[in-house]
Structure 1
C-alpha cells in the first residue's frame, strides 16, 4: 500500500472565509513541482479537502500526471479534522496507491500518526510538500515514511 499526502500549495492570505482561499501563482507552481514526483505512480484515487486551495492543488496534480479519474471531495481532510474519522474512512478504501490533498495541521498529524503510532510527533510539511508512505495497510504506526519532498527545497 502506498499513500501520498500532499499539503496544498501556497494560498492567498485572505478571502471571505478560510475555505474560499485560492492558490497563488506560487502555489500552483508548488503543486506542479510536487506532482512531478507522482508521474510514475499508479494512483487508484485522488482525495481532496473541499476547501478551494486543496481542490485547485488536486486539479493541478490531476492535469500534470494525466490522471483520468475525477478528484473525490471528502469532508474528513480539513485543517482541523479528526484522525479517528480519517482512519475509519481510509480503512474502507481498497486502492493500492492513494493520494490525499489536504492541510496543516491535519496532514502532519496524520503522517505522524501513521508512521509513529501517536499524535505527539507530527511530520512538518510546508505548502506543496509531498510525503510518500508505504506499508501493508493504512494503520497507526505501521507505515514507513519513504520520502518527504518540499517543492522549494
Structure 2
C-alpha cells in the first residue's frame, strides 16, 4: 500500500481563526514545486485523497491537484492539527479493507503528519515536516511493516 503524506503550504496569520488561515504566495509556489519534484520520482496515482477541512490544506490541494491522479477526493475532519494518529491509522486501514483502497494521499498538518508517518513506519520517530513537505511510504498491512521510501521539501 502506498501512502503519501503532505503538510499544507505556508499559511498567513491574518484570519479570524486557525482553521481560516489562507496560504501565502510562497505556500502556493512551494507546494507546486514539491509536487514537480515528486513527479520526477514517480507519477502519483492514488485511490483516495483525504484533505483537512482547514482552509490552508484545502488551498494546498487546489494548487497541487493537477499533479495527482485520484479516483476519489474527500474532506476528512479527522486530519486537522488536533487529529489522533492512531485513529487516523485505523480509519485508513478500515478504508483499505472495506473499500479496497490501496493508496492514499493526505494533505494535513503538524503534528499529525509526523505522528501518522510513525504509525506506518513504527521503528522511526515522528519526523518533522516543513510546510509543503511530502513523504512517500510503503506499508504492508499483512505484516504491519512500513518503510519510508522518500521525503521531499521545498527547494
TM-score, normalization by structure 2? 0.86
**Number of equivalent positions:** 148
Structure 2 SS opposite 1:59 = helix
**Range with bigger deviation, 30-39 or 107-116:** 30-39
C-alpha distance in 1 between matches for 2:34 and 2:146: 21
The residue aligned with 1:102 is 108
Aligned to 1:3: 3
Deviation per residue, 1:55-112 (Å, 9 max, x gap)? 111111213x264656310011010111222122101223222100000011011112
Alignment gaps of 5+ in structure 1: none
Matched, 1:81 2:83: yes
Structure 2 residue ranges without an equivalent (≥5):
none
Tell me the distance in 2 between the aligned counterparts of 1:134 and 1:35.
Answer: 18
Q: RMSD between aligned alpha carbons?
A: 2.1
Give the secondary structure class of the aligned counterpart of 2:137. Answer: strand
> Once structures 1 and 2 are overlaid, which stretch shifts more, 44-53 or 82-91?
82-91
Deviation at 1:138, TM superposition (A): 9.2
What is the match of residue 133 of structure 2? Answer: 129
Normalization by structure 1: what TM-score? Answer: 0.87
Q: Report the 3-state secondary structure (helix = DSSP H, G, I; strand = E; otherwise coil) of the residue aligned with 1:135.
A: strand
- Equivalent positions of 1:12-51 (< 5 A) are 12-36=12-36, 37-38=38-39, 40-51=43-54
In proportion to residue count, which structure has more strand?
Answer: 2
CA drift at 1:117: 5.5
Q: Is the aligned partner of 1:142 residue 2:148?
A: no
Distance 1:70 1:52, change over 3 A: farther
